[in-house]
Structure 1
Amino acid sequence: MSTTSTANELSTHGLKLGYGANIIVDGVDLTLPGGAVTAVVGPNACGKSTLLRGMARLLAPAAGTVTLDGSDIHRMPARALARRMGLLPQQAIAPEGVTVEALVRLGRYPHQRMLTPWSKADQTAVEEALERTGTTVLRDRSVDELSGGQRQRAWIALALAQDTPLLLLDEPTTFLDLRHQLDVLDLVEELNTEAGRTVVMVLHDLGQAARYADHLVVMCDGRPAAAGPPAEVLTAELVEEVFQVECRVVPDPETGTPLVVPRARSGRRAVPAAP
């Protein structure tokens, strides 16, 4: 994980987001550090994905603002924002019959100009995205024919091909088995440490969030319950308050980062006390 910087700093100011009269995210003030990996966690229906949608300008605020390096994203030209911010949405829908390569090529749209031909740089970005996500062998397959995990990796490849310094990923490990979850999270870490990209991602697994993120935001009922370095934020008290799960938080034996161990709910499964 890299040292944070002020570039690509994403902030919300009194942000309210919702659907119609139903407010989901209510008056949030947050600053997500540039040059870092931020994980947003929380129970179901707490506002994680809604917050990410608001930060990506997919959802207009009911109140408040979202700024990128101090500039209101709603005042930025769409193409200019797309060259700075890439997004993997939670429920992406591909055009019917589109191949994996054609889908990934769509990531180059923000870099295109009218009457400008497809360039070597464009193709290189597509090839690298396919390679990084292990989807090169799928390039000629229709996205409709893919498994959930393969489809998810194809969408991640599109986000990578966009080649932005800031990536927003909404549940990037959805549909993936454990190996491919770790592959995606290792890729996030590489993009941050080797390419200096800022990443904001919604995750469900608290251990993975603590292991891979520099900064953790814990959402509860539409507001942050806590935010900061995982080692400072992720406590047994916080987990019980936010998730209603009794647990112990112990050091991960591989990384030393916080690892949440739920307490056994059945006496049969509990470890007997020492005599």
Structure 2
Amino acid sequence: MTAATDRQPASEGPTGANRLAAHGLHLRYGNRVIVDGLDLELPGGAVTAIVGPNACGKSTLLRGLVRLLDPAAGTVTLDGSDIHRMPARALAKRMGLLPQQPVTPEAITVEALVRLGRFPHQRMLSPWSKADQAAVEEALARTGTDVLRDQQVDRLSGGQRQRAWIALALAQDTELLLLDEPTTFLDLRHQLDVLDLVADLHAEAGRTVVMVLHDLGQAARYADHLVVLKDGRLAAAGAPTEVLTAELVEEVFQVPCRVVPDPETGTPLVVPRARTRSRAAATSSG
């Protein structure tokens, strides 16, 4: 895997292809407003991490960006075109999504799951092609799941299962990949494995990536661009070194902290302030 320190960050700003943008976006469930009048531009050719407290609208925003949730008001555009005016198959060829806690079909093997990613490229009555199989093989190889191809997905470990779902998204062969909390329920090693894989896909294949993350240190280490939400509104957006400050963390997350350079990468690292002195510290000072 390519270490995060070896990656060259993409240039900031909404330049290049695969530019997602929200314009006056309102998203709601019933009468409950989740995202409230959001204006946001995500840079193409970059890794963007969306962060914020629980229930601030992160996953809802991602659903709105991929047309899984119709806006109550406002628009979402991809390279300037309203995604709600684009044919569903055309949009699926440009944008792949890994949802939070995807439901695995019963008794499906890894290869069969990954083959589902080719659905947007299929035509009625058209046979499975060499190009389809090549895309599946490349997705399996890139995610290291080729050795698991005949195993049932529901019998894999959490990290292996997440890789299989990422392989499905890769087989879809889109240049824009969106992931909703891809590290949820994974231990630290598998969290880093998944994030390293995402970093490799960006560095090697130039994919634009948008992912929802909880860990601020991981978001700062792996992302070129941060989007910080609070109560369904934009609190800040930009490069991690510019956005992630002690003042912002306390305002958005209500956590007093220091923000220091990560000793491995130099990216911002959030260190919460201790609320009370530890027993060991009190004993040694006494």
Q: Which category describes the TM-score, using the shorter chain as reference length? A: over 0.9
What pairs up with 1:247-266 in 2 under 5 angstroms?
Answer: 247-266=257-276
Cα distance, 1:123 vs structure 2: 1.5
SS at match of 2:186: coil
Work out the CA distance in 2 between the residues paired with 1:192 and 1:149. Answer: 19
Corresponding residue for 2:6?
A: none
Q: Does 1:184 align with 2:194?
A: yes
Q: Does 1:243 align with 2:253?
A: yes
Corresponding residue for 1:193?
A: 203
Work out the CA distance in 1 between the residues paired with 2:159 and 2:184. Answer: 8
Seen in structure 2, the aligned counterparts of structure 1 residues 188 and 242 have a Cα distance that, compared at 3 Å, is same
Work out the CA distance in 2 between the residues paired with 1:189 and 1:128. Answer: 17
Report the count of equivalent residues. 274
| 2:47 aligns with one of 22, 34, 37 | 37
Match of 1:156, as an amino acid?
Answer: I
Work out the CA distance in 2 between the residues paired with 1:70 and 1:24. Answer: 24
SS at match of 1:194: helix
Q: TM-score, normalised by structure 1?
A: 0.94
SS at match of 1:86: strand
Corresponding residue for 1:2?
A: 10
Work out the CA distance in 2 between the residues paired with 1:161 and 1:184. Answer: 17
CA deviation map 1:108-128 (0-9, x unaligned): 111112232212222122122
Match of 2:69, as an amino acid?
Answer: L
| 1:82 aligns with one of 92, 115, 135 | 92
| 2:217 aligns with one of 192, 207, 222 | 207
Seen in structure 2, the aligned counterparts of structure 1 residues 47 and 158 have a Cα distance that, compared at 3 Å, is same
Work out the CA distance in 2 between the residues paired with 1:263 and 1:243. Answer: 13
Cα distance, 1:270 vs structure 2: 8.5
Is the Cα contact below 8 Å between 1:152 and 1:174 reproduced in 2? no
Cα distance, 1:49 vs structure 2: 0.2
Work out the CA distance in 1 between the residues paired with 2:279 and 2:158. Answer: 33
Seen in structure 2, the aligned counterparts of structure 1 residues 247 and 99 have a Cα distance that, compared at 3 Å, is same
Seen in structure 2, the aligned counterparts of structure 1 residues 139 and 130 have a Cα distance that, compared at 3 Å, is same
Is the Cα contact below 8 Å between 2:159 and 2:194 reproduced in 1? no
CA deviation map 1:2-39 (0-9, x unaligned): 33632100000010111111110110000000011100
Match of 1:172, as an amino acid?
Answer: P
Is the Cα contact below 8 Å between 1:39 and 1:209 reproduced in 2? yes
Give aligned-pair identity as a percent: 81
What pairs up with 1:46-61 in 2 under 5 angstroms?
Answer: 46-61=56-71
Structure 2: segments with no counterpart, 5+ residues: 1-8
Match of 2:255, as an amino acid?
Answer: V
